[in-house]
């Protein structure tokens, strides 16, 4: 006789499997996530300026966090100590700000210590809507915070501003994993315990946003670690992935492109004639299938160059010329 399994037993088994994944991710990543107590200088001395979380990148002290967690902190030569980083093992280390890029909401810090447990960075490009993700922060110093949920949406854009400079952070991850106060700068991880995003904002009840870990953000982190700043070209568009129309698929032999969602006024994109709902097919001779393909071309070498763009507007194929400006904070 074949044994039967009740619905309660099936539910219990599913819950146990879910719990095991979340527990494994938490145990793997919690030692790599620090609580930040940020300080700022005033005439009365150093005073608390806020708190957040950070993720260890290297054993020798490099940390990754959100730029808005360290507002007004100095970076580069002559930088001053910005606060304290506390880990779940009880260590509390001073840190300095190495580099801040407010236009991607990322910052790199350097803690005064070694033998940190670095997190493994994953690839946000591999995420799928509905996939399990775990948000890990350390908002209260020695008591880490773990929440779990699913990827609610991909390809979102998040506005970022530095002074008068405006840019969209593309491919932002939307999740329903609850973000607690102080979780900004903490890790969003997949079921393997790899960091696929840096938690950056609460978009509403049950909605959190994370800056993705992908080829573009890896270059930003590398530049911040190396130079303390990021130089990039600027087009002034917000875009998202879009399937190509059938006739374009046949012509190009591929399935996707980038749709222009918004064009920033008085930007290189607007001056070139790009419009919302245009489909960006090719840029500087490179096929454009994802937003990352555009960002990969917006390096310091692209600044001031004239780049040829192939665009599909309705049924019309257009050739436009784009000249990226330098995107600078301020």
Active site residues: 68, 105, 184
Angstrom distances, CA of residue 286 to CA of 101, 204, 283: 26, 37, 5
Of 232, 227, 201, the closest CA to residue 297 belongs to: 232
d(CA 52, CA 183): 6
What DSSP string runs through 160-178? EEETTEEEEEEEEEEE-S-
Q: Give residues with Cβ within 8 angstroms of 8, minimum separation 6.
A: none
Q: CB atoms < 10 A from the CB of 291, how many?
A: 25
d(CA 203, CA 54): 20
C-alpha span between 214 and 241 (Å, rounded): 15
Contact residues for 257 (Cβ-Cβ < 8 A; gap 6+):
241, 242, 244, 248, 279, 280, 281, 288, 289, 312
The full DSSP string for 259-305 is: EEEEE-TTSHHHHHT--TT-EEEEETTEE--SHHHHHHH-SGGGTT-
* Tokens describing residue 191: 């079921």
Q: Which of 12, 35, 33, 27 is nearest to 85 (CA)?
A: 35
Beta-carbon count within 10 A of 10 CB: 10
CA angle 235, 239, 244 (to 5 degrees): 120
- Tokens for 48? 């608390």
């Amino acid at each position: 006789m074949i044994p039967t399994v009740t619905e309660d037993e099936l539910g219990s088994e599913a819950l146990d499997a879910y719990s095991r994944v979340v527990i494994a991710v938490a145990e793997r990543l919690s030692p790599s996530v620090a609580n930040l107590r940020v300080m700022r200088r005033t005439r009365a001395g150093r005073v608390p300026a806020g708190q957040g979380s950070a993720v260890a990148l290297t054993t020798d002290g490099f940390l990754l966090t959100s730029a808005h967690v360290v507002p007004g902190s100095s970076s580069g030569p002559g930088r001053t100590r910005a606060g304290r980083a506390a880990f779940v093992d009880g260590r509390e280390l001073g840190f300095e700000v190495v580099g801040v890029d407010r236009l991607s909401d990322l910052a790199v810090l350097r803690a005064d210590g070694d033998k940190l447990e670095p997190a493994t960075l994953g690839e946000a490009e591999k995420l799928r809507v509905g996939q399990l993700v775990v948000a890990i922060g350390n908002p209260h110093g020695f008591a880490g915070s773990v929440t779990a949920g699913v990827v609610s949406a991909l390809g979102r854009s998040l506005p970022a501003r530095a002074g008068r400079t405006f840019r969209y952070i593309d491919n932002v991850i939307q999740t329903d994993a609850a973000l607690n106060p102080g979780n900004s700068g903490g890790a969003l991880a997949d079921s393997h315990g790899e960091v696929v995003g840096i938690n950056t904002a609460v978009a509403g009840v049950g909605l959190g946003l994370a800056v993705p870990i992908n080829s573009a953000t890896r270059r930003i982190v590398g530049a911040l670690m190396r130079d303390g700043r990021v130089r990039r070209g600027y087009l002034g568009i917000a875009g998202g992935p879009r399937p190509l129309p059938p006739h374009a698929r046949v012509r190009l032999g591929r399935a996707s492109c980038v749709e222009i969602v918004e064009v920033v006024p008085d930007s290189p994109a607007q001056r070139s004639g790009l419009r919302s709902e245009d489909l960006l097919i090719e840029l500087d001779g490179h096929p454009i299938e994802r937003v990352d393909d555009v960002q990969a071309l917006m390096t310091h070498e692209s600044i001031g160059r004239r780049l040829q763009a192939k665009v599909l507007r309705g049924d019309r194929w257009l050739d436009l010329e784009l000249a990226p400006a330098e995107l600078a904070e301020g």
